[in-house]
């Protein structure tokens, strides 16, 4: 790499690189403090040269002009500290720059760590994420999101069970996973350092498939059997946690068990009114007014405050009953489990929710929607060819005709298929 840049410049360049990832990282003095606590200046200088998309160690070695074994040692150390993403696939090592979310925020709090000041980092992350809405809106802009809601299967009418697909069933997702791991819930663990965590369990974050293998290898997760993971899902449901997972159909990488008080995404829904921060399930809550007693248990249970008690006067007898805000309802089914009068049912939404097929497809869609396609494809700042091509694509992204083309589903689908096919020739099927 030659010489190491000055510390302040190293962190500034890293912030700029992070802000070009699909989910972004708006500039802030607080973010600079976070980076300085997690990355050494040498770490920051290396990290900002690592692409945001997966790249093999061999290509990185050639690009950075660092001997492969020396580079692997550096990258492995950074991966163990949760600063970069490290995957193994068919005997090859793949690396990518970890974004802030889902990335080194989660990796910082998925375990107890003595080598970093977690309490101070918790305070700084809280300020960065919630003192204003810039970070939340950077991560959550656009209709395609990182996470989606998994409906409670037991909440569905018997006739609807034939309509629920395997990738919509948390139980089936877990049972079909090639590997499983469990970690601390990063959100509740962070809140715990602030003295604000709820009493719900923290050892609840499930990782799946290649993500589980990576997290277990790097000490951020403990391996679980299928039976243990299914049992954990049941325990989380019993204490009122909602299940959210990777917003893909194939090879999910995580299932979170979320509470509305600590989950960063759910807090963004409530604090900044970012509706759609978590993609809904294909079901929505419905109240049977002939059974609802107005007890308010569903109001308390809803993780995003989508239910309230409203006065009804259908039969000349005014009384309070549960009412659902359909623009907020995630379709998680937590309210169904809380209702003791059998007054809540989950019914199919009028229009099915679109879910990308793979993590790679989701990344491309998010990049297009956020105007970050050029940054995703051409993210090597040291290569003039990439810089020039990136500027061309960035210019196209700003043109109305391009935006209109990718906004139309058939054209966008054809565009995505070509783009994904071309990219996978280089990337392989790591994220398929």
Q: Would residue 354 count as lying in a domain? A: no
Q: Would residue 353 count as lying in a domain? A: no
Q: 3-state SS string over the chain?
A: CCCCCCHHHHHHHHHHHHHCCCCCCCCCHHHHHHHHHHCCHHHHHHHCCCCCCCEEHHHHHHHHCCCHHHHHHHHHHHHHCCCEEEEEECCEEEEEECCHHHHHHHHHHCCCCCCCCHHHHHHHHHHHHHCCCHHHHHHHCCCCCCEEEECCHHHCCHHHHHCCCHHHCHHHHHHCCCCEEEECCHHHHHHHHCCCCCCCCCCCEEEEHHHHHHHHHCCCCEECCHHHHHHHHHHHHHCCCEEEEECCCCCCCEEEEECCCCCHHHHHHHHHCCCCCCECCCEEEEECCCCCCCCCHHHHHCCCCCEEEEEECCCCCCEEEEEECCCCCCCCCHHHHHCCCCCEEEEECCCCCCCCCCHHHHHHHHHHHCCCHHHHHCCCCCCHHHHHHHHHHHHHHCCHHHHHHHHCHHHHHHHHHHHHHHHHHHHCCCCC
pLDDT of residue 228: 98
- Same domain for 237 and 183, yes or no, is yes
Q: Would residue 215 count as lying in a domain? A: yes
Number of structural domains the chain divides into: 4
The whole domain housing 384 covers: 359-427
pLDDT of residue 2: 46
- Same domain for 287 and 193, yes or no, is no
- Same domain for 14 and 126, yes or no, is yes
- Same domain for 40 and 96, yes or no, is yes
Note the pTM of the prediction, 2 decimals.
0.87
- Same domain for 262 and 160, yes or no, is yes
Q: Would residue 82 count as lying in a domain? A: yes
pLDDT tens over the chain, length 432 residues: 445 557 789 999 999 999 999 999 999 999 999 999 999 999 999 999 999 888 899 999 999 999 999 999 999 999 999 999 999 988 889 999 999 999 999 999 999 998 999 999 999 999 999 999 999 999 998 889 999 999 999 999 877 666 788 899 999 999 999 999 999 999 999 999 999 999 999 999 999 999 999 999 999 999 999 999 999 999 999 999 999 999 999 999 999 999 999 999 999 999 999 999 999 999 999 999 999 999 999 999 999 999 999 988 766 678 899 999 999 999 999 999 999 999 999 999 999 999 998 898 888 888 888 878 777 776 655 554 444 444 445 545 554 545 555 555 554 555 555 555 655 555 556 666
Q: Would residue 378 count as lying in a domain? A: yes
- Where among 137, 160, 188 does a domain terminate? 137
- Where among 300, 325, 348 does a domain terminate? 348
Q: Give the CATH number, domain containing residue 110.
A: 1.10.10
- Same domain for 395 and 363, yes or no, is yes
- Same domain for 260 and 291, yes or no, is no
- Same domain for 45 and 154, yes or no, is no
């Amino acid at each position: 790499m030659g010489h190491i840049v000055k510390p302040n410049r190293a962190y500034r360049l890293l912030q700029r690189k992070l802000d070009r990832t699909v989910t972004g990282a708006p500039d802030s003095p607080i973010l600079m403090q976070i980076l300085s606590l997690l990355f050494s200046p040498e770490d920051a200088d290396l990290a900002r040269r690592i692409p945001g998309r997966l790249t093999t160690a061999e290509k990185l070695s050639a690009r950075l002009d660092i001997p492969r074994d020396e580079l692997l040692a550096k990258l492995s150390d950074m991966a163990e500290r949760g600063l970069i993403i490290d995957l193994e696939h068919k005997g090859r090592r793949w690396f990518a720059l970890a974004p802030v979310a889902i990335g080194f925020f989660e990796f910082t709090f998925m375990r107890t760590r003595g080598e970093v000041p977690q309490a101070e980092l918790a305070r700084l992350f809280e300020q960065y994420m919630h003192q204003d809405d810039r970070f939340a809106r950077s991560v959550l802009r656009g209709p395609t999101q990182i996470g989606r809601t998994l409906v409670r299967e037991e909440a569905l009418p018997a006739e609807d069970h034939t309509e629920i697909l395997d990738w919509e069933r948390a139980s089936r997702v877990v049972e079909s996973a090639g590997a499983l791991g469990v970690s601390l819930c990063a959100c509740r663990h962070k809140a715990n350092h602030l003295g604000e965590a709820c009493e719900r369990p923290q050892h609840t974050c499930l990782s799946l498939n290649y993500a589980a293998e990576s997290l277990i290898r790097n000490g951020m997760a403990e391996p679980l059997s299928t039976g243990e993971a299914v049992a954990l899902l049941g325990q989380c449901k019993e204490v009122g946690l909602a299940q959210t997972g990777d917003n893909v159909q194939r090879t999910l990488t995580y299932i979170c068990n979320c509470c509305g008080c600590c989950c960063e995404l759910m807090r963004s829904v409530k604090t900044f009114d970012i509706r759609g921060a978590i993609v809904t399930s294909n079901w929505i809550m419905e109240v049977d007014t002939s059974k609802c007693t107005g007890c308010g248990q569903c109001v308390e249970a809803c993780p995003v405050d989508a239910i309230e008690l409203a006065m009804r006067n259908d039969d000349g007898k005014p009384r309070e009953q549960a009412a659902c805000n359909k623009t907020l309802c995630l379709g998680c089914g937590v309210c169904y489990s809380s209702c003791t009068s059998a007054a809540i049912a989950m019914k199919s939404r009028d229009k099915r929710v679109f879910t990308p097929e793979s993590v790679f497809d989701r990344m491309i869609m998010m990049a297009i929607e956020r105007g970050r396609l050029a940054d995703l494809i051409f993210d090597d700042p040291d290569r003039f060819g990439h810089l020039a091509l990136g500027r061309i694509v960035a210019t196209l992204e700003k043109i109305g005709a391009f935006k209109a083309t990718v906004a139309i589903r058939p054209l966008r689908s054809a565009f995505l298929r070509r783009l994904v096919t071309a990219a996978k020739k280089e990337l392989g099927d790591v994220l398929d």
